[in-house]
Amino acid sequence: MPSPLPLNRLLHLEFSPSVDARPCSSPLVCPAKGEKFFGGESVSRIRRLPPHLAWCSIDWDQLCLLHLLGSGGFGSVYKATYHGATVAVKQVKRCSKNHLASRQSFWAELNVARLGHNNVVRIVAASACTPASQDSLGTIIMEYVGNCTLHHAIYGTGYFTGLKNDGLKCDHGFLSTAQAVGYSCDIAAGLMFLHSQLIVHLDLKPANVFITERNVCKIGDFGCSQKLEDTESSGLQFCHQGGTYTHRAPELLKGEKITPKADIYSFAITLWQMVTQQEPYLGERQYILYSVVAYHLRPSLTAAVFKGSATGQQLKTIIESCWRANGAERPSAQGLLYNLRALSVIV
């Protein structure tokens, strides 16, 4: 389908946040130059966390890396122990092509620092210090939630938040409608909490939702997130082009104001994936982006699962309400959770 308008009229250029959005240097005690960590490696850069994050400075003597879980464009994730507890350690990669984007990703991860919720991956500690042998912006210690994501549960593939590691396995691969509704309640509860803290995730998708051994979903990977209070206090509204294009709300593609309703749209695509076990779109990226904005393209709702039962029809109604083109018409996370819990009683 040819585009009647140039794509650059609709799709904004790369997200370029203000340097002041998240400071990369603030006075705080951190390991002195030459101090050893990660098996005897010295600290190569002296960077300091801002004062409001002083509580989460890393006690390096208590950190022991076990093995690499995987690596990707953002950096590497290790399984480790910290103060005797099993944790995950993320080292955010310094991208030579876009240093600002890498730095933004590191500080965005800390948007959920000091927050605790059963459906959100918890930050344990963080430091902007890096090992001398690695080109990293910083280190983040998180609770260990296993290596199984919702992407595993839907598609049964070896996938760990975008990391390249074919050895990872997960005992999932098929979701019943009841399971999909149960997981959806977990995700909506996590979103409700985040939005109450004025945090928008902006990259909600199956690969960023972890499933614990207790079968609880936790939202993770906050490298694209934003605090609404940051943009409001600065008087600036950034065009956001981070995240995954298949799950990105149309208002973000048009460079409009970021609101929590962008996460509700991403949730709709994620729920559709859980129910259908299919990929949302096929075709070229630019064609999909343009069609989502100009022609309200959405994944198909013609599958039998949406027609065969009252539950399927209610799921269809929920999905349609969550991916409406006008964000103001989408339900809040609280309203969404209410509807999903009501549905879970009858599934």
Active site residues: 203
- Alpha carbon 273 to chain centroid distance? 16
**What token pair was written down for 103?**
């730095």
Selection from 25, 31, 37 nearest residue 133 by Cα: 37
Dihedral sign from CA coordinates of 149, 153, 155, 156: positive
The radius of gyration of the chain's CA atoms, rounded to the nearest angstrom, is 20
Residues 215, 160: Cα–Cα separation, whole Å: 16
- What CA–CA distance (Å, rounded) separates 201 from 195? 9
**Which residues sit in the known binding site?**
90
Sequence ranges of the binding site for ATP:
90
Cα→Cα distances 293→14, 241, 330, 331, Å:
17, 14, 16, 20
- Exposure b/e, 171-192, CB count within 10 A at least 16 = b: ebeebebeebbbbbbbbbbbbb
Beta strands in 159-260 (DSSP E): 199-200, 209-211, 217-219, 226-227
C-alpha 151/C-alpha 206 separation (Å) is: 5
- The DSSP string of 287-325 is HHHHHHHHS-------SGGGTSSHHHHHHHHHHHHHT-S
In angstroms, rounded to a whole number, what is the distance separating the alpha carbons of residues 305 and 284?
A: 27
* b/e code 245-273 from CB counts within 10 Å (16+ = b): ebbbbbbbbebbebbbbbbbbbbbbbbbb
